[in-house]
Structure formats: C-alpha cells, structure tokens
C-alpha cells in the first residue's frame, strides 16, 4: 500500500478569564490518496472541534470538547460522527505536559443514530509533550 496525506489545520484559542478559562476552535482537513491493489482511492476527512477548559489545582486544566468528523470518499459524502467528552491537561514540569481525552460518539441530529461503520463508538487520545 502506498499513501499520501496533506493535513492542514487551523487552530485558534482565546482566554475567557486570563490564566483560568480558555475556549478553542479547531478546523482540520486531510486529503488522503492511497494506492491499494493497483488502484488509487481518495478520502477528504474534515474535523471541526470546539472546546473549553478551566484551571484546577495542581497545574492542570479540566475541559470538555465536541468534535464533528466527516468523511468524503471519491467526492461523495460517506460518513459523519459527533463526539463529546472530557479532557485533562496536566503540566508535570516546566518541560513536560500530558493531555488525555475520552470522547463518546453521540447520535448526530440529522441521522439520529451513530455511524459505527466509519467511526468507533469511543475514542481515547493521549498526548505527551517534552519541551527541550
């Protein structure tokens, strides 16, 4: 299999209460071209996310995120999922941070059901960053 991806993201955040409460908006587009069995396939996934977080004791932020994922294959809409869940961001030191998030798929307002063909029921994401 041979594949090429060109992810493009727009990330924006702003404080509602400086050093205490933040909101963020993320938009992502990742056109993907894959050669499987001698034929090329194309996907154009789009991600839209809105989140809010607030400081809690211990160099940490507790938040909530809502994300909508859409999938277009060969120019046709083929799937959509809406995820909601909590996140935790902890600064372990001046150079090390950890973020953990869990999101559950909820029925989209237009479909009235989960898309379990193209997406998982639950997603868990963990990020570790080390600044050196």
Query: Does an H or E element contain 18, and which?
Result: none
CA distance 34 to 28: 19
Task: Report pLDDT digits (tens) over 23-39.
Answer: 999 999 988 888 888 88
Do residues 126 and 98 lie in contact, with contact meaning Cβ atoms separated by under 8 Å?
yes
CA distance 15 to 91: 18
pLDDT at 111: 65
In the chain, which stretches have pLDDT less than 70? 73-76, 108-111
Task: Report pLDDT digits (tens) over 46-59.
Answer: 899 999 999 998 88
Q: Which two tokens stand for residue 111?
A: 């479909």
């Amino acid at each position: 299999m041979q594949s090429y991806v060109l992810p493009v993201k727009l990330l924006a955040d702003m404080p509602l209460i400086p050093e205490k409460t933040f909101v963020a908006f993320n938009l992502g587009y990742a056109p993907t071209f894959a050669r499987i069995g001698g034929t090329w396939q194309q996907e154009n996934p789009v991600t839209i996310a809105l989140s809010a977080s607030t400081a809690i004791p211990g160099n940490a932020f507790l938040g909530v995120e809502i994300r909508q994922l859409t999938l277009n294959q060969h120019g046709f809409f083929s799937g959509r999922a809406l995820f909601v869940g909590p996140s935790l961001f902890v600064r372990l030191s001046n150079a090390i941070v950890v973020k953990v998030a869990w999101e559950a798929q909820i029925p989209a307002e237009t479909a009235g059901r989960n898309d379990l063909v193209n997406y998982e029921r639950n997603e868990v994401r963990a990020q570790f960053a080390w600044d050196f």
